[in-house]
Amino acid sequence: MSMGLLVQKFGGTAVGDPERIRAVADHIARTVNSGNQVVVVVSAMGKETDELLRLAEDVSSKRPGREMDMLITAGERKAMSLLCMALHDLGVEADSFTGSQAGFLTDTNHQNAKIVEVKPERIQMALSEGRVPVVGGSQGVSVDNDVTFLGRGGSDTTAVALAHAVKADACELYTDVTGVFTTDPRIVPSARLMTNVSFDELLEMTATGCPKPAMRSVEYARTHGVKLHIRSAFTWQEGTWVGEEKVEMEQAIVSAVTHDTSETKMTISGVPDKPGIAASVFRALSDVDVNVDMIVQNTSEDGVTDISFTVPHGDLEASMSIAENLVEDIGASGVSSDTEVARVTVIGAGMRSNPGVAASMFETLAENGINIQMISTSAIRISCMVAENQINEAVQALHETFGLAES
């Protein structure tokens, strides 16, 4: 690794116990001793955030966002100060900084605050003194001077925003996976660790089932051109670089296959094909914070159509009740749902100039006797909804068809 200024972010499992904290400190120390400057971002230890949430539920049925943020941010506070102590033990001078101290100014939207500005004066001062700043992830201070939390997974966003603010050469996101794979290695053992992936591809992958990193941080990185390196805090091997397409692209047309079994398919049938009908359905769902995904509307026959969409399993009951109320209002004939579905997606920036990918995907599924229930596409992605019990077969077949396995 060449020398430079790096942001290193460590997730909750990476610092899950004292032994892990010492292992992470050791890695940081080695990075520093190789001649790099390092800014560290750290999440709360292991399951601590969940434990704090449970404690809040035990104490009160009313949990104002301001107080939840004060509570939750105690988690990173512990991790960052302990990590600094472990660094001192290795002879590395390190100082912990809260989100506020690190200059993260946010809006007042507690529990899910947005960064307004990053003023990293104290971080830069520490760096200039040869010290390692260790910043609590997912934290900030609002324009009202209250402590704010950027939300679950917000430590990735902290790391990327800080990398941009201090003009770091790269932002390393250390996690419990080795990097980004061409598909889920639990389903396809020959899945290949991707050396490079583009921001657009990674965003599509994250949106369709790839667990890491948080989508928001990838969007931030893309907008600000922050080079990401997703890698393991357990094996420490090189992981996956995420950057601009033009610079980093692999040659393959299809880069990865993802899958997602967390959603239910809902269909409103016999919907009159009139302007405003779809809007009323999705406005009603959005009003109760149901996160609707993959909307498909068939072409109209005889002036009526079907609208299908997916919702998270946990939102099914609320969504069904809203849809059933709407059926009469909009003059539809009925609502149905199917939880036994799963989505398989192929992703690749090369698709833009290769229109044959969709046909290959549909042929592969057909050859394997897998029926396609819904289709949706973007410029670099094709998703098909299939029966849940055929999802592994679908992933394996598509991974094979597009030649993604390790050679």
Give me the least distance between CB of 158 and a copy of itself, in Å please. Answer: 17
231, exposed or middle or buried, with CB in 10 Å at 0-12, 13-18, 19+? Answer: buried
Inter-residue contact 174 to 41 (CB < 8 Å): no
Phi, psi of 31 (to 5 degrees): -65, -45
| Element containing residue 6 per DSSP (H, E) | strand 5-10
Q: Shortest Cβ distance from residue 94 to a copy of itself (Å)?
A: 8
Amino acid identity at 345: T
Residues lying near a copy of itself in the complex (CB under 8 A) are found at 18, 21-22, 52, 55-56, 58-64, 66-68, 70-71, 73-75, 77-78, 80-82, 84-86, 88-89, 95-96, 98, 101, 122, 145, 147
Phi, psi of 211 (to 5 degrees): -70, -25
Output 88 or 192, the one with its CB closest to a copy of itself. Answer: 88
Q: Which is nearer to a copy of itself, 134 or 221 (CB)?
A: 134
The nearer residue to a copy of itself, 86 or 311, going by C-beta atoms, is 86
Question: CB 14 → a copy of itself: shortest distance, Å?
Answer: 14
State which residue, 3 or 59, has the beta carbon closest to a copy of itself: 59
78 vs 192 by CB, closer to a copy of itself: 78
Closer by beta carbon to a copy of itself, 30 or else 167: 30
CA-nearest of 250, 240, 203, 205 to 223 is 203
Distance CA 348, CA 201 (A): 6
Strands laid side by side in the 94-97 sheet? 94-97, 132-136, 37-42, 5-10, 170-175, 228-232, 240-243, 196-198
Q: Which amino acid appears at position 321 of this protein?
A: S
Taking the complex as a whole, the smallest distance from the CB of residue 96 to a copy of itself amounts, in Å, to 5
Residue 181: name the closest of 366, 19, 407, 405 by CA: 405
Give the residue with the Cβ less far from a copy of itself, 32 or 344.
Answer: 32
How many CA atoms are closer than 13 Å to the CA of 163, on its beta-carbon side? Answer: 31
Q: Is residue 65 a contact partner of residue 111, using CB atoms and an 8 Å limit?
A: yes
Q: For the purposes of burial, counting CB atoms within 10 Å of the CB of 78, is it exposed (0-12), middle (13-18) or buried (19 or more)? A: middle
Task: Kindly tell me which of 146 and 201 has the beta carbon lying closer to a copy of itself.
Answer: 146
Q: Which is nearer to a copy of itself, 59 or 116 (CB)?
A: 59
Instruction: Give the Å distances, CA to CA, from 294 to 219, 254, 277, 308, 374.
Output: 20, 20, 17, 8, 9
